[in-house]
Amino acid sequence: MRRIALRADFNPSHPGETAMMFDLSRWLLSAFACLWLSSSIARADEPAWPYQFTVGERITYEVIIEVDTGDAVDTHTARPTLHVAGVQDTTGTLKISDTQVAFRSRTKENTFRRRIRVPRRPPFPTLRGFSEREVTVAADGTFVTEKGDSQLPYALGDVMRLLMPSHPGTGDETWTESAQTSIRITSQWPPRISPFRSNEVERLSATEEETWTVESATEKQVTLKRGYHLETSDQIEGEPRLAMQATGTLQLDPQTGWLIERQDDVKFTVRSENLTVKYPLEIRVRRLTEEERQELLAKKDAAAAARVAPLTDEERTQALVALESDNKTTVQQTLMKLYHKSPEEPDGELAAAIANWMQDDQDFVRMNAAKALVNWGTIEEVPLLIESLEDSFFAVPLAAQEALGRLGDERAVPPLVARVRELRSRAGAVQALKSIGAPAEQGVQQLLDDDEWTVRFEACKLLAEIGTEKSLPLLEDLAESDANGVVKRFAENAVKEIRGR
């Protein structure tokens, strides 16, 4: 028997307000649960249907999670891809990609709509660490090492575990795994991993038990039944505070060990002093055929191409109208769309329409306007962009200096040089001055006698790229006599680079 370790995180957005139905259901719906099973002790016997990993193999699944919230059905859909990055003996290194999740909520018919539904974040679109998730998996499905995490919402565990169940040993017909575990309830999402700040509100100890049965096995398909039960030892009036009960059916391909399909019905129960809320959810997983996978890839490529495609005349007109709108949502959507595109020729009219939003009182509107100007700004917008370097919202100057770098106007050099002296804004300002190139040389020279050696060092590196003979006397001086060894070496290098041009 293997031991299973499990951890869960919940995120009650209002931990003190779980007594009322409304708040309690919101608590549940915003509950991000992390729960993972990791088998650390490998089985002694041979797996009956071992995973056969092939380097470079990519398998895409469709994962649908449907949650009945009482007055609505919420659906989360994802199409993650598992990629076999390496194989050693029978152990595979797997990564997961394409983890965006589409969220849809459908109000049930005949529901008396008296409750206001609060807008919710879709529970798992951009989980921290999702993309760095990497697991090495033994032939029986044991996770040997794990990096990152890819937790599903609603205490459903790790998405990789869902797609890669562990397999029974040869001759096993039914087997049970059980463990003691704990559920962490945290006050925010994502749970902080910093050792200095804990956001843990409470930790509940729990037991879990998983039972597997081989229902049928042919050469083409193996069917397994799964039963799962989790409950906290903490109780309210004799019943566990949190409980989860699941039954599922899984189909495996016995030739390769990969999951073909699974369906799980889950009942999640949360009890508070005066109230018990149960919500049923269903998980459906299906492996896409190679044809469906190719179709999905083609769609993704087409969407990416459409995003950067030049504006048509009609779209340009629509954008101009939208930028005149009072509706900030419309304006924001238009600015974000423009950000991905660029004009073939400078477009003064559209640039001016974008620039109007640089004075808006909302930070994100100014940020998106500045970002749109990175590609759309013209010489006319240079004074405004320079002014925006002083904007109080950090993202605005970042975008403004990128736009100024692209426009290459000399007027931007003095303020950008000043920003190199500040550590906060240094990296972006250096990048912008590099883009401006030769017209920035004289301004950058002024940085060579800064008190701070890191500033002199940046100036040497910049001049190595954009400097001309005019900078040689200053650089030679520095190479000879700077107090800092690093600056000396980089000044010397800049001299060499300039001479070599």
Ligand X SMILES: *[C@@H]1O[C@H](CO)[C@@H](O)[C@H](O)[C@H]1NC(C)=O
Question: Residues interacting with ligand X, by CB under 6 A?
Answer: 19, 273-274, 327, 329-330, 333
d(CA 22, CA 436): 57
Q: Taking Cα atoms as reference points, which of 347, 405, 357 lies closest to residue 378?
A: 347
Q: Kindly tell me which of 25 and 99 has the beta carbon lying closer to ligand X.
A: 25
- Cβ at position 333, least distance to ligand X in Å: 6
Q: Kindly tell me which of 138 and 335 has the beta carbon lying closer to ligand X.
A: 335
Count Cβ atoms within 10 A of the Cβ of residue 60 and give its class: 0-12 exposed, 13-18 middle, 19 or more buried.
buried
159 touches 150 (CB < 8 A): yes
- What residues have CB less than 8 Å from 169, skipping those under 6 apart? 43, 44, 45, 46, 47, 48, 140, 175
Q: Kindly tell me which of 52 and 333 has the beta carbon lying closer to ligand X.
A: 333
Minimal CB distance residue for ligand X: 19
Q: Kindly tell me which of 120 and 337 has the beta carbon lying closer to ligand X.
A: 337
d(CA 349, CA 328): 20
- Cβ at position 207, least distance to ligand X in Å: 26
Q: Kindly tell me which of 19 and 438 has the beta carbon lying closer to ligand X.
A: 19
- What residues have CB less than 8 Å from 270, skipping those under 6 apart? 24, 27, 28, 241, 242, 276, 277, 278
Q: Which residues pair with 477 in a beta bridge?
A: none
Computed on alpha carbons and rounded to an integer, the radius of gyration of the chain in Å comes to 29
Q: Kindly tell me which of 312 and 329 has the beta carbon lying closer to ligand X.
A: 329
- Cβ at position 276, least distance to ligand X in Å: 13
Q: Kindly tell me which of 207 and 333 has the beta carbon lying closer to ligand X.
A: 333
- Cβ at position 273, least distance to ligand X in Å: 4
- Cβ at position 327, least distance to ligand X in Å: 4
Residue type for position 376: W
Q: Kindly tell me which of 273 and 345 has the beta carbon lying closer to ligand X.
A: 273
- Cβ at position 432, least distance to ligand X in Å: 33
d(CA 185, CA 204): 8
The single residue listed with the structure tokens 């409750």 is 115
Tell me if residue 276 falls in helix, strand or coil: strand
d(CA 208, CA 232): 9
- Cβ at position 19, least distance to ligand X in Å: 3
251 touches 261 (CB < 8 A): yes
